[in-house]
Amino acid sequence: MMISQTSFMKAWNNKKLVAGALKAASVRRDYINYEDLLQDGILLYAQLLDKWADKEEQEVNKLAFRKIIWQTIDSLRKVQKRQERNTNLEEGFTLTAKELDWDNLVVLKEEIKKLNSVEFVILFEHLLANKTITKLAQESGIPRITLQRVKKRLLLKLREQL
């Protein structure tokens, strides 16, 4: 959606509304992504000013304030979910050279050779490259629920072997 210059300037000049929404969403100014969230909020506010041009300014501000809060909370949830998933993977790969179990590596290498194409994609694209199951489903044309089942079976199979 294109944003008009007047709406953008109005949103830019009313950054306090966006900053207040971020504060209401419990985002502190020293948060590493605060500026990104502020800019996203300003852009959303400008879009809403264009979308609701026929409404009163005070009503638009109320609605925009709520919408910015919800968008911010959703963004923070996505970041948290991504960090949790990455943390779990990082904990799994914290083996030092001394702790490597060569037998497990040989078994893993053999198991990878036995994987079908869907399991192979899930292992490398989803578990190692952090692509979402939804994105894989779109790319491969395989239903998301099927990919989740295959992932569960794959993880069980690897746990049994290792």
pTM of the entire predicted model: 0.53
- Give the tens place of pLDDT for each residue, 55-114: 998 999 999 999 999 999 999 999 998 888 777 666 666 555 455 566 777 777 888 888
Contact (CB, 8 A) for 119 and 142: no
What percent of the chain lies above the pLDDT cut of 70? 90
Residue 159 pLDDT: 82
CA 40 to CA 69: how far, in whole Å? Answer: 11
Residue 90 pLDDT: 61
Residue 39 pLDDT: 95
Residue that is written with structure tokens 């007047």 in the block: 6
